[in-house]
Structure 1
Amino acid sequence: MADGRALPGLVTYGDDATNRLLSAAAHLDEEFAHGTAVELTEDRLEALGPALGLDLVAVARHARAATRRTLLRDALLTGLLAMLAGGAALRVYASFVHRPDLLLGLSRFALAGGFLGAWLLVLAAEHRARTMALRAIGTKGHPGGLVPPLAPAVEDALREQERANAVPYHEVAGHDTPFVGSGRAVLERVWQPIDVSTPAADPDGGPAPEIVPFDVVELHEFVAGQMGTIAGLEGLRTQDRLYVLGTRVGYAGPELLPDRLRAPRPVVPQELVRAALARPGAGMRTYLCMERAGEGGRVIVSMHLRARLQHPSLTWELAAYVVPPLREEFEAVRTLRLDPFGRWSTLLATGTRRFPPLLFKAPARLLRRGRQRGLRRGRLWYWRWVIGRRHTEFDYGATGGIRERAGDWERMGFTEQTDAVDFFQRLQQGVLTATERFLKAHNVDTSSFEEARQVINHHNYTFQGPVNGAGNFGAGGTVNISAPGPLTGAAKPGPSAAPGGGPGPAPAPAKP
């Protein structure tokens, strides 16, 4: 330390704690694994939501590995169930013949072997799932290295998604907010206008210097470059990002949608991002997005800003969002027993309890998965046929993200609230300081800016009461997270902030 004190190190959350917990949850939660594998690895038309600090490759690898293990288990259980049905049929047939000893022996073997084999298979699958979950959170190194890699094209697409600078949002989401996957809004506001038409006075008493012309592209670039040093937030991710209404993706050009029969690209040339900032199009706007993950990724705060320069005034449009900690079920791996007796006793108890439904419902699960796969492929084929033949306008927009859907506002505790407030206040002051520096560098009088700063600083980011419902604005610009109910004022929850942390509306095509 600066004063020479040597202090002991404390236990902290790892930087990739959220990735490890989601990877582990894929082995313990079959529905989550299946849904995540479908979303991240299968062919699609709709865009994916922002990654928000996730290692999509690692999570997708574990989800796909867990899904394949589940399918193999169900296929083997279906075969053993057929063996049991054959044993039962032999037993019935033996009662109608004169020498049933051989048939009875075969039926007993089939029944006993089938039940024993199925029980051992369920135990083995449960043991493997628990082992992989514990390895995902306990093994050093990249958690994705514990399971086989995906196809190179799939992993390349996921890595590109992590660098996304273009986010198509679904038309349903556009009614509330374009910032899909960013969590819940805690502040949405347009700051007080700032006069940028008056030149600054010469400190030596001479004639006022001329204002150096500037545009919003220069302002965004300057603020983005300054935020890292001003805000004092290590790990702050800052970038201009293009948000496009899903039904307008086709009008953004081939850089965003090179193939109308495929999903939009998540990374587009910077010139297109700047163009939507300088001259916003229909459903196309560029925002300066600043994202910061709390310790271990438990909480993610993001601030989206867009400068509006219409001479003689400048305003900032601001939207602040929070993604809460993971739901409790995603930390189930932490409750697994590690002592030998507890580990095997809980394994036997859980496996035996799950054995009957897993065995007798295995064929139904296989049929359901096959039916869902067929419906997904049929829907893709149909809409690609419609888009290609009828040139129908399709909504390519995303409705949310994996990290957002996994959050639970009930788990937003005191520490997470105060951390979020600190992050937002630092970001707000950083934007104001950078804007002041920019105006002074362009010889703009900042007296109007100082007046606006007083009003802007009056609006605090304050969490009050238990976090168990939608946010409501309180007096003085504070944000109350308290009783459930509709939002009043400017802030509204995004479409994926469903009650209980569930997903928002499913993607739907635009009407022909």
Structure 2
Amino acid sequence: MTVDRGLPGLFQQGEEWTDRWLSAAAHRSEQFARVTAAELTEDRLTALGPSLGVDLVAVARHARAAVRRANLRDGLLAALLVAWAVPAALLVHRARLGQPVGPQLLGLLGVLAAAWTLVLVTEHRARTMVFRVIDGNGPPPDRLVPPLDPELESRLSEQARTNVLPYHEPAERTNPFVGSGEMVEERVWQPIDISTPAKDPAGGGELPIVGFDVVDLHAFVAREMGDIAGLEGLRARNRLYVRGAMTRHAGKELLPDPLRAPRTTIPEGMVEAGLTRPGLGMRTYLCLEGVGQGGRVIVSMHLRARVQHPRLSWEVTTHVVPPLREEFLDVRRLRQDPFGHWWSLWRLATGEFLPALFKVPARLWRRGRARALRSWRLWRARWAIGKQYEEFDYGADGSIRARAAVSLRLMEFSDTNDAVDFLQRLRQGVLTATEQFLKAHHIDTASFEQAQQVINHHSYTFHGTITGQGFNFGGQGTVHLTGTGTGTAPGHGQGQGPGGPSPSPSPAPAGP
């Protein structure tokens, strides 16, 4: 029980910290705004990867607003360029004839002054919105810009509650948990004997074993993990992962229209079926997801119970989404004092208005070409699906949040410690919940206790030189596993099977 000492509060990052910086980045980077707007708001066939800890509605609204502002700027610049060409042609013609060119020269200068003013005003509006977005005392970022289409916003909101995820076909060879960040650990825990009944504490022999299946075990762990691990705000839910090309075979509950993107939620019965009777390329995992303060760091554990009488084992994969890269935080260096603000705008407009004016045809051409290519590829894919019945990969290949994160090996000290603590609590919480479940079903836990010693005796690395019980964080983002486990992820870890060498008592060496 925590004692309230009445101490003064320190500065805290709000829950929408990541939303604010990603939304602000849309106003700072036109490329990020256009890519994000296309991914979140345009018509598509593929699924969206989960962006944990991010309000996609807010980010999509700001990306759309930033794109519209840039389009308005370029449209006006294109009109100014046409207006510039007329006095420029007259000036050249009159100069050749030796006639006065004063009015034409004034016209040229007027057009250039208008272009300079347009670039300055557009950047001023963008920075004003940036300052409003990152103001932690201001309204939530989604209230600062107009809403999108209600149906679109409803679809984006459902991403936070998704219980199914088609993933890009090539991800099966590396990391099918797209959008979850970088893999830290991948192993199968030591099998546990579940065939021996527990002794009756009151005497009289053995207790009858209470039957169960993997659905019962997953439900118990999901229900009890929050209290056991002491992790406030832990999200625990089953999620069906489907290989992208197998999406059509999952039925109309997932893909009611082959010419549209798959749904984000399906009936729970289908999700549970992925536990008891997994299909080809369709498996259900218990996803334990925790978001750090303000969404800076996201740690997730994907579990899958394997019950093949008389043994139970856990397939375990853990991931970390690090904080945002530095370019998403560079708005902190913008000057907000009146003189510095306008001086920096004057310098930017002076240096960029000529390229902005004279390169606007090329920008409009590239933008139109890219939009036409996206429309063509979408039409071609739908034609192939509808007319030729081709197999299509509906899977997601990542998420906005994961792509915006810094490399795992570049995480800072505090964020790394938070991730270590979260991983330790998750692992110990799953073990404790498993033990409680076995005892509740009158199963002897002697085999579990032996397996627990092996499970707890391993180490892996992903950053720095921070060490903890069962953890050793070194460089290069490598993962070193010792002890009993199966499975090897290229570039992520190595494990020894039950017949392999005994675990080393020393932690794995840190990378160079």
Is TM-score (shorter-chain normalized) higher than 0.5?
Answer: yes
Instruction: Give the Cα separation in 1 of the matches to 2:476 and 2:264.
Output: 30
Q: Which range moves more in the overlay, 408-417 or 380-389? A: 408-417
**Per-residue deviation, residues 351-407 of structure 1 (Å, max 9, x unmatched):** 222222212111111111111111111111111011001110000011100000001
Q: Which residue does 1:346 correspond to in 2?
A: 344
- Unaligned 5+ segments in structure 2 are 466-472, 485-489, 497-512
Query: Does structure 1 residue 372 correspond to structure 2 residue 370?
Result: yes
**Per-residue deviation, residues 1-56 of structure 1 (Å, max 9, x unmatched):** 95553322111221111100000000001100000000000001111101211100
Q: Which residue does 2:469 correspond to in 1?
A: none
Q: Which residue does 2:288 correspond to in 1?
A: 290
Q: Which residue does 1:502 correspond to in 2?
A: none
Work out which of the residue numbers 208, 211, 214 in structure 2 matches 1:210: 208
Q: Which residue does 2:73 correspond to in 1?
A: 73
Structure 1 position 141, deviation (Å): 2.4
What pairs up with 1:183-332 in 2 under 5 angstroms?
183-332=181-330
Structure 1 position 465, deviation (Å): 2.9
Distance 1:458 1:385, change over 3 A: same
Q: Which amino acid aligns with 1:290?
A: L
Number of residue pairs aligned between Structure 1 and Structure 2: 482
Contact 2:416 2:463 in 1 (8 A): no
Instruction: Give the Cα separation in 2 of the matches to 1:3 and 1:163.
Output: 34
Instruction: Give the Cα separation in 2 of the matches to 1:324 and 1:14.
Output: 17
Q: Which range moves more in the overlay, 370-379 or 454-463? A: 454-463
Q: Which amino acid aligns with 2:26?
A: A
Q: Which residue does 1:430 correspond to in 2?
A: 429
Q: Which residue does 1:453 correspond to in 2?
A: 452
Contact 1:15 1:297 in 2 (8 A): yes
Structure 1 position 459, deviation (Å): 2.1
Q: Which range moves more in the overlay, 53-62 or 74-83? A: 74-83
Contact 2:304 2:315 in 1 (8 A): yes
Q: Which amino acid aligns with 2:318?
A: A
Q: Which residue does 1:111 correspond to in 2?
A: 108
Instruction: Give the Cα separation in 1 of the matches to 2:210 and 2:261.
Output: 42
**For 2:329, what is the secondary structure of its paired residue?**
helix
Query: Does structure 1 residue 440 correspond to structure 2 residue 445?
Result: no
Distance 1:90 1:252, change over 3 A: same
Work out which of the residue numbers 384, 393, 396 in structure 1 matches 2:382: 384
Work out which of the residue numbers 462, 472, 478 in structure 2 matches 1:472: 478
Query: Does structure 1 residue 126 correspond to structure 2 residue 128?
Result: no
Structure 1 position 425, deviation (Å): 0.6
Structure 1 position 424, deviation (Å): 0.6
Structure 1 position 474, deviation (Å): 3.4
**For 2:265, what is the secondary structure of its paired residue?**
coil
Q: Which residue does 2:91 correspond to in 1?
A: 91
Contact 1:327 1:411 in 2 (8 A): no
Structure 1 position 110, deviation (Å): 2.2
Distance 1:329 1:177, change over 3 A: same
**For 1:318, what is the secondary structure of its paired residue?**
strand
Distance 1:39 1:464, change over 3 A: closer
Instruction: Give the Cα separation in 2 of the matches to 1:37 and 1:132.
Output: 17
Q: Which amino acid aligns with 2:451?
A: A
Distance 1:260 1:490, change over 3 A: farther
Distance 1:57 1:364, change over 3 A: same
TM-score, normalising length: structure 2: 0.91
Distance 1:60 1:8, change over 3 A: same
What pairs up with 1:131-146 in 2 under 5 angstroms?
131-138=128-135, 140-146=138-144
**For 2:478, what is the secondary structure of its paired residue?**
strand
Structure 1 position 106, deviation (Å): 3.8
Instruction: Give the Cα separation in 1 of the matches to 2:238 and 2:491.
Output: 31
Contact 1:187 1:490 in 2 (8 A): no
Distance 1:415 1:335, change over 3 A: same
Instruction: Give the Cα separation in 2 of the matches to 1:334 and 1:87.
Output: 43
Instruction: Give the Cα separation in 1 of the matches to 2:495 and 2:303.
Output: 15
Instruction: Give the Cα separation in 1 of the matches to 2:51 and 2:160.
Output: 5
CA-based RMSD of the aligned residues comes to: 2.0
Instruction: Give the Cα separation in 1 of the matches to 2:103 and 2:256.
Output: 62
Instruction: Give the Cα separation in 2 of the matches to 1:185 and 1:2.
Output: 34
Instruction: Give the Cα separation in 1 of the matches to 2:284 and 2:355.
Output: 51
Instruction: Give the Cα separation in 1 of the matches to 2:175 and 2:425.
Output: 23
Q: Which residue does 2:509 correspond to in 1?
A: none
**Per-residue deviation, residues 281-332 of structure 1 (Å, max 9, x unmatched):** 1000000001111121111110000000110000000000001110101011
Identity of aligned residues (%): 60
TM-score, normalising length: structure 1: 0.91
Contact 2:481 2:494 in 1 (8 A): no
Contact 2:235 2:290 in 1 (8 A): yes
